[in-house]
Structure 1
Amino acid sequence: MRARMSLRKSAAKGILGMQAVEAYVGSTTLPHAVRELVKLRVSQINGCGFCVDMHAKDAQRAGETDERLFSVAAWREAPYFTDAERAALALAESATRIADNPEGVPTEVWDEAARHFDEEQLAGLVVAIAAINAWNRMNVTLRQPAGAAM
């Protein structure tokens, strides 16, 4: 499998902008584990093999356990996640599947996330969710293969 094109070549300025968004998210106090779990779960939902592969590896390098990585797709039923991580995953799923609910992101999902994260962390979480959705859409559209350089 080969990617249809290279955005690093054809849209270098756009990729720099996306990297700036990622730098912002990384500068917030949102816990690294939450960022990686959210990126992995959203990428699973969107069917982005490139991002699933990359974020699972990034999380492993950061010390994430195999049990948690293997269970993130079934986080509601798995005992490995904190209440804060569950709230972040619920927000990520709801924001990713925004068209599935006439309310968009339900108030109870937002309120649960707001119970666990301060305003800076929530802002970082919202931006992280939006960014990984954008990355997924680019990579799926371009058929970027897992394990390949972008």
Structure 2
Amino acid sequence: MSTITNQEQRVNVKALEPNCWKLIIDIETYLAQTSLDKKLRELIKMRTSQINKCAFCIDLHTKDAIKLGESERRIFALSVWEESPLFTDKERAVLQFTEEITEIAKHGVREATYQAVKKYFSDQEIAQIIISVNHMNFLNRIAVSTKMVHPS
């Protein structure tokens, strides 16, 4: 594995495709207005970004989660949430759902995972979670493919 030093961004999607970028931001603006808990949304963003190895998004959303009052301890434990007692059953259901959506080619979303999420969320909230996870996956793929790097 190589060390990243002085990495340059390949292209700036936001600058090159401002009309499309506005649509991307509109989705985020919509999701921010839903009833989904803001800290839960940041857990989704951080976990998706961990799976996708998106350093830019991990940095950004870790800062956002801390601003919302998320504990550093829980952030540190997020990559091993299955082994940590710091997460509620509701959060565990969402994190499993997040992982299966992000890695959908492995085995889709298992029925047990869907039913676990359904215990805590309405159909509309489940739709919003699906949109949240997929939106983060889309943003991760832009950041990773263009080599966006967070400031050091």
Match of 1:116 among 117, 120, 134: 120
1:83-94 equivalences in 2 (<5 Å): 83-94=89-100
Work out the CA distance in 1 between the residues paired with 2:124 and 2:68: 22
Work out the CA distance in 1 between the residues paired with 2:43 and 2:73: 12
Work out the CA distance in 2 between the residues paired with 1:19 and 1:146: 19
Instruction: State how many pairs are aligned.
Output: 146
Map of 1:6 onto structure 2: 12
Task: Give the drift of 1:25.
Answer: 1.2
Percent identity over paired residues: 33
| TM-score (normalizing by structure 1) | 0.94
**Structure 2 SS opposite 1:116:** coil
Check if 1:37 corresponds to 2:35.
no
Task: Give the drift of 1:13.
Answer: 1.1
1:1-150 equivalences in 2 (<5 Å): 1-101=7-107, 104-147=108-151
| TM-score (normalizing by structure 2) | 0.93
Q: Is the 8 A contact 1:54 1:147 kept in 2?
A: no
Task: Give the drift of 1:133.
Answer: 0.2
Work out the CA distance in 1 between the residues paired with 2:33 and 2:17: 24
Please identify runs of 4+ aligned residues in structure 1 that moved more than 4 A.
Answer: none
**Structure 1 SS opposite 2:47:** helix
Work out the CA distance in 1 between the residues paired with 2:31 and 2:25: 10
The structure whose RCO (Cα within 8 Å, separation 6+) is larger is 1
For residues 73-115 of structure 1, give each alpha carbon's deviation from its aligned partner in whole angstroms, at most 9, with x where no partner exists. 00011111111111110000000000111xx101110110111
List alignment gaps of at least 5 residues for structure 2: 1-6
Q: Give 2:71's aligned amino acid.
A: T
Work out the CA distance in 2 between the residues paired with 1:32 and 1:50: 20
Work out the CA distance in 1 between the residues paired with 2:100 and 2:116: 12
Work out the CA distance in 2 between the residues paired with 1:113 and 1:99: 20
Task: Give the drift of 1:120.
Answer: 2.4
**Structure 2 SS opposite 1:3:** coil
Q: Give 1:19's aligned amino acid.
A: I
Task: Give the drift of 1:147.
Answer: 3.1
